[in-house]
Structure formats: C-alpha cells, structure tokens
Amino acid sequence: MNRLERDAPETAPQVAALGSTAPVGAGAGVEPVAAPAVPLDLRDAERETAIARVFDDSHAQLVRLAALLGAGPDAEDVVAEAFCELYKRWPKLRSPEAAPAYVRSSVVNLVRMRLRHVQVVRRHQQALTSAAPEITSAEGEVLVREDQRALVRALERLAPRQREAIVLRYWMDLKEADIAATMGISCGAVKTHTARAMAALGQALEAGR
C-alpha cells in the first residue's frame, strides 16, 4: 500500500467535516459558547439618574418660566430641548450640582432665540408680543388660572431682558448673582433691568385700572 492509500481513510472524515454545516462539537454534548456581554457604562446610568432627578424637581417650574418669558404654547417644547442639551453637555459640567443652573440658562437662551425668530417673522408689528398666541399647553392653562391676566399681559409688553430679570427674581426667587449667571450679564445690569421692569409693570397695571 502506497502512502496515498494509507492516508485516505484518515483524510476523508476531515474533508467531510469541512463541508458540513453542523456546528463544531455538535452531537458531542458540547454547548455553544455565548458571545460576551457588553459591559454597562455606569457613567451613562449615573447621568440618566441625575438628569431624571433634575427633571422631576424642576420641570413644572421651568415650563412656567418659559411661558412667562414668552414661549407661549411652545413652553414645554423649549424645556424638553433644554434637557436634551443638558444630556449632551453633561460630561462637560463642572459637577452634577451645576445641572439645574445650566438647564435654567438653556431655557432662557432658547426662549430668546424663539423671540428673535418671532421678531423677524413679525418685524412689522409694533411690539414683539402684542399679538402673542394663546397659551394652550396644560402648564400654560394652569399659569393663566393662577396669575392675573392683566399682569401676564403686562409682562408680555416688557423688553425681553426686563421680563427675564423680573421673572427670575420674583417667580423663580433667584438671587441677583444667580440671575446674572443665568442671563449672562452683571449684577449691576440685573438691578437695572429689574428696576425698569418694575416701573413699567406699575405703569401698565395703573393704566389698565
């Protein structure tokens, strides 16, 4: 018997095995090896937990803030966008404790952007919010029921920075330093905007009596 004849019986089973679609070890009682599980990123879990806590603590107040600043029926959408920004920027926050201030500033800035857009679209109007849309969101309806309509209308007539200062001071109950950080201005400017807003509100309310 030559060498080819001797090797043939041993090679045939190997070739047959290569052409088989059965998994390796099938029929021999060997369990297939499971793919390794992807480890959970604890940083993402911690971020989602922290943001959910901020959301639960401040969502209603932030919607109220956006509505009073002029977001109207878009108040809830503005707040939702602010929380999306918070989620994306979370790794760059100096600490989790900075999250409430960050999302509050985002709401103020997003409302500013919306009002600028409205101003462009309605550039021929005498006042930015003289024909503001009716607030139709659930939070907005609560807002209208809780506050005097005359006061809300007077707020709508204020300049944007004056409205921001007065709302952050008397509705959000923030200190001057926190208002300055939220608006991106100095404490002195906060005092100026607040004083002018108070004077304008007083005149508007007197005229409406």
Q: Domains in the chain: how many in total?
A: 1
Q: How far is CA 110 from CA 3, 65, 149, in A?
A: 84, 12, 24
Q: What is the mean pLDDT of the chain?
A: 76
Query: What domain range is 103 assigned to?
Result: 41-132
User: Is 120 within the bounds of a domain?
Assistant: yes
Which phi and psi (to 5°) does residue 15 adopt? -65, -40
Does the residue 18 lie in any domain?
Answer: no
Residue 89 and residue 54: Cα distance in Å, rounded?
14
Has residue 20 been placed in a domain? Answer: no
Which whole number is the average pLDDT over 15-24?
44
**159 is a domain residue:** no
What is the model's pLDDT at position 199?
92
Q: Using one digit for the tens of pLDDT, what is the confidence trace for 185-194? A: 999 999 999 9
DSSP 22: S
165 within some domain:
no
**CATH assignment at residue 105:** 1.10.1740
What digits encode the pLDDT tens for the residues 47-97? 899 999 999 999 999 999 999 998 888 999 999 999 999 999 999 998 989
Q: pLDDT at residue 124 above 90?
A: no
Helices (H) then strands (E): counts for the chain:
9, 0
In a domain, 82, yes or no: yes
Is there a domain that residue 183 lies in? no
Instruction: Kindly tell me if the per-residue pLDDT of 19 is higher than 50.
Output: no
Domain presence at residue 93? yes
Which residues 6+ apart lie within 8 Å of 133 measured at CB?
72, 73
